Structure 1
Amino acid sequence: MAIRRISSEERLTTSFPLQSYAFERSPANAAATQETRQYLPYNEGNVTLVAEESDTVVAAASAIPMRQNIRGTVFPMAGIAGVATHPLARRQGHVRRLLTQLLGEMRDEGHAATALYPFRPSFYERFGYVGFPKPRTVTFSPADLNHFLRLDLPGEVTWQRIKDGYDTYRDFIHRSLAERHGFAAFPDYRAARQRDSDEEWLVMAVVDGETVGAVTYRIEDHAGDLLAGDLLTTGPVGRALLLQFFARHVDQVARVTTTVSANESPELWATDFAAHTEAKISFPGSSAPMARILSMEALHGIAAGPGRVTIEVVDDPFIAGTYLLNGEGGRLEVTAERAATPAATLTAAGISALVYGVLDPVEVALRGFGAVPDAAATALRGIFPPRTPRLFASF
């Protein structure tokens, strides 16, 4: 089996057909094939590898060069997508070899982390990935937002097609990237598909000239559903302005659906607010995101709590080694310690869980992601306080 990086145009005859079979209606008709060609520019900067046997492409995987906030510092991050195998070549180890090479190339090109949406989390856990909380979907009647119509809120909302407000919306995405742990943003060439398709409305909340909230949406039908995307806000006022806008649709739509962070509490938005909030997990179609660290050294300087401990990362081709972690100055110091005796042993999934703040050190051990004695757990808990990452981008 040979693995090679393909050019942009080659995707039409190599990776795209495999992805179409794996993730879309199949077989594709002529119209779908034409749409695939139109999708090509939004993949232009991706790194795509294919595995070939006897001149036949048997597997493909792509990495999208993105950026992600990890505890307040923005890093290059590889979003893994389009992992697909020929139906006659499955369960033969092709994806394992392909993904290992792709992650290695992305690490060597400076990407400190990687994230994906798994078809099966246990498969990617073996590659060092750890799960993120899944964002919540909230469904409610606009009639239950009547309280917001009586509020005299500061600021205003703007309303336009996404194509017209795209640049301002993109600026707000970049601001969120700089401020929110776990947040990830597409590169410009990929994000532009949302602008070019122009299939959504855009509402932005503005106070004193500053954007404090944004959401995209479309309306399915009269007396039907208003389907909104991520409800992105900087605080309660921005959220209230957007909810007030939804309330004005009480005589037009029956339900509003939007997506919020896992640490959001929609039940507290208003009194007598009847909402259905869920995070549905199913495989292979509705999974929570996963992420992992590709470079320990790159983490030097991220925000950290007090603590000092030596750890060993094992069984990983990218970050295996012994490291002294010191957060005493409020910023993480990472020092390679070849001869030191580690106080804890962690897998790549274990250290990734701590860095992203999704598991306590005790949970890391219980999940089989390492051996963490009590003293080391206390130090690691201090260095990496719990956080709720919000990936945002879907790929």
Structure 2
Amino acid sequence: MTIYRALSEDERDRFHEYVSYAFTPTDGPPTYDPAEHDRPRALLGDRRGLFADGDGDLLCVCKHYWFDVHVRGDEHSMAGLASVASPPEHRRSGHVRDLLAASLEEYRDRDATLAALWPFRHRFYQQYGWATANRQLRVECDPADLSFARTRLEERTTEHGRYRRLEADEYESLDPVYERHAARYDLSIDRDADWWCYRVFENWETDPFVAVWERDGEPAGYLEYTINGDWGDRTMDVAELAYTDVEAFLALLSFCRDHDSQVQTVRLRLPTDTPLFDIASDPDELETELEGGPMVRIVDVSRALSALSYPTVDGSVTLAVDDPLAPWNDEAFELSVERGDGTCERVAVADSNIALDVATLSQLAVGARSVRALERAGRLDASPGTLETLETLFPERAVYLRDGF
């Protein structure tokens, strides 16, 4: 028997101890200092713990964030799971599983449609119903390999605009750029002032630089970056690059190019549909690696599929869902869509014509994978004639959750 509850202020030191040992053990035993560790960035989110009933020993911890995100043209609530940590003396006993199950119950009570996380290992969370939401590209190159950007920009316009460093209290000027860029991708979160100030303009160790490119006096693109390494082997690491149009994108790449006297490498993290390779003069010079990204799962199947928007069509499918963590999802559901509005209700398992696990259904729900791709991978089993209906109801979308938590 275990107890799941919020951690008190007096238990912050235990939370810090568990998370430090899990993620930065090379730093040695942590010393908790409220003045250092209780900065606004660290206080974002809600701490939770799983306790042993009886002696009350703390078994494992996590943190929850609460977001609004865009999914299929509408805004939905999403819980962000982070800082899952358990000390070695309490591992391999199912405590983290119990912590995740209790977290899902809290998400359900708070009407969250989705839950997302950044995994230390995908297969660990996949066994509990999370699935990859999106992948991202890591692109590395010599700054000189971005020289094409200035040439292309000058071909398009005679207005060069200007670059300017920003401080956290100027974040509002970036909001229109972020919103326009984020509108291209589902699972983009709605950022509030605290998120901008303490998660974009701050970092755990080295605060990033944030630079904006202004055109006609208005922000049109910005980038968040750090410069790492020793002299002669430095990297400009761009964590976020947002822009309103291709001219702004070229201007930001030019900004990176102009760091050639300071760095030997530029590293960019970009969505997989980036236009970089369409406009680069020599894409072969850009070293590219496809990286795993965040993971997502549905919290409550009936509620989520009833809340989503669908194409303006009529259709019906019956889904037998396997959920290893949430018993309220481990059932069969009939999804009926009429003129784009969906209703999802529990039905008898025998009536189902599609069988899939909640991870697969979660990818379909957010548009991360196509029906045909999942069917080819053996991720779903459908009776004849139902794949076409499922494809119509769940078209693939551009998904890119960029914010870490």
Match of 1:346 in 2: 356
Structure 1 residue identity aligned to 2:316: V
Name the structure 2 match of 1:292.
297
Task: Report 1:175-194 matches (<5 A).
Answer: 175-185=180-190, 188-194=193-199
Partner letter of residue 193 of structure 1?
Y
Task: Say if 2:345 is the partner of 1:336.
Answer: yes
Look up the match of 1:12: 12
Q: Contact between 2:320 and 2:355, CA under 8 Å: does it hold in 1? A: yes
SS in 1 for 2:273: coil
Verify: 1:253 aligned to 2:263, yes or no. yes
**TM-score if structure 2 supplies the norm length?**
0.84
Change (3 A) 1:58 1:180: same
Corresponding residue number in structure 1 for 2:161: 156
Instruction: Say what the alpha-carbon RMSD is for the aligned residues.
Output: 2.9
Q: How does 1:195-210 map to 2 (within 5 A)?
A: 195=201, 199-207=207-215
Mapping 1:107-146, distance limit 5 Å: 107-146=108-147
Q: How does 1:1-40 map to 2 (within 5 A)?
A: 1-26=1-26, 28=28, 33=33, 37-39=37-39
Q: Secondary structure at the match of 1:279?
A: strand
- Determine the C-alpha separation between the residues in 2 that align with 1:207 and 1:313: 53
TM-score normalised per structure 1: 0.86
> Which secondary structure does the structure 1 equivalent of 2:138 belong to?
strand
Match of 2:245 among 235, 238, 255: 235
Percent sequence identity over aligned pairs: 25
Aligned partner of residue 351 in structure 2, secondary structure: coil
Partner of 1:323: 334
Moved more, 160-169 or 106-115: 160-169
**1:384 Cα deviation (Å)?**
1.4
Residue 312 (1) aligns with residue 319 (2): yes
Range with greater deviation from structure 2 (375-384 or 191-200): 191-200
Q: Could you report, residue by residue, the CA deviation over 1:268-298 in whole angstroms, capped at 9, with x for unpaired residues?
A: 2321351111124xxxxxx531101123434
**How far did residue 120 of structure 1 move?**
2.9
Decide whether the 8 Å contact of 1:140 with 1:275 is kept in 2: yes
Aligned equivalents of 1:246, 1:377: Cα separation in 2: 46
Deviation of residue 264 (structure 1)?
1.9
Q: Mean Cα displacement is larger for which, 33-42 or 287-296?
A: 33-42
Q: Determine the structure 2 residue equivalent to 1:276.
A: 287
Q: Counterpart of 1:67?
A: 68
- Are the counterparts in 2 of residues 226 and 255 from structure 1 also a CA contact under 8 Å? yes
Residues 109 and 36 from structure 1, CA distance in 2 versus in 1: closer, same or farther, beyond 3 angstroms?
A: farther
The residue aligned with 1:375 is 385
1:187-236: CA deviation from partner (whole Å, max 9, x where unpaired): 54454324356822222234456543221112336553222112222332
User: Helix, strand or coil for the counterpart of 1:96?
Assistant: helix
Q: Name the CA distance, whole Å, in 2 between partners of 1:45 and 1:32.
A: 19
SS of the residue corresponding to residue 368 of structure 2 reads coil
Tell which deviates more after alignment, 142-151 or 106-115.
Answer: 142-151
CA distance in 1, matches of 2:207, 2:61: 29
Matches within 5 A, 1:356-371: 356-365=366-375, 367=377, 369-371=379-381
CA distance in 2, matches of 1:128, 1:353: 11
Distance in 1, matches of 2:379 and 2:146, equals: 44
Q: Deviations over 1:315-359 (max 9, x none)?
A: 332434412242x63x34123263693331232112112112233
Shift of 1:64: 0.9
- CA distance in structure 1 between the partners assigned to 2:145 and 2:312 by the alignment: 42
Aligned-partner Cα distance in 1 for 2:309–2:217: 31
Alpha-carbon distance in structure 1 between the residues aligned to 2:400 and 2:103: 24
Instruction: Determine the C-alpha separation between the residues in 2 that align with 1:190 and 1:277.
Output: 29
Conservation of the 8 A alpha-carbon contact between 1:309 and 1:343: no
Count of paired positions: 387
Q: Is the 8 A contact 2:148 2:280 kept in 1?
A: yes
The residue type equivalent to 1:348 in the other structure is V
* Structure 1 alignment gaps of length 5 or more: 281-286
1:25-50 Cα shifts (integer Å, max 9, x gaps)? 34546667557633466334425233
Q: Tell me how far apart the structure 2 counterparts of residues 6 and 211 of structure 1 sit (CA, whole Å).
A: 41
Shift of 1:18: 1.1
Q: CA deviation at 1:72?
A: 2.0
Q: Report the Cα distance in structure 2 between the residues aligned to 1:27 and 1:64, rounded to whole angstroms.
A: 26
Structure 2 distance, partners of 1:42, 1:187, is 16
